[in-house]
Amino acid sequence: MKKLFLYILAFFACSQILFSAEVDFFTDGTFIVPAGVTAITVHVWGGGGG
């Protein structure tokens, strides 16, 4: 039973890495969050003024 718990724990620990994706946006627009997404991390560079 302890071994099964460790396998499940390892799966969930690795799932963040295995199922993550990176998307680059270069224009204005709307981002539609896919079903099942529970968190989004955003890194922003530049002013983008017009």
pLDDT given for residue 15 in this prediction: 63
The b-or-e profile of 1-32 (16+ CB within 10 A means b, else e) is eeeeeeeeeeeeeeeeeeeeeeeeeeeeeeee
Distance of CA 11 to the CA centre of its chain: 16
pLDDT in tens, 1-50: 788 888 777 777 766 666 667 777 777 888 888 888 888 888 777 766 65
CA torsion through residues 3, 39, 25, 31, sign: positive
Alpha helices in the chain (DSSP H): 2-18
Q: What is the pTM of this model?
A: 0.33
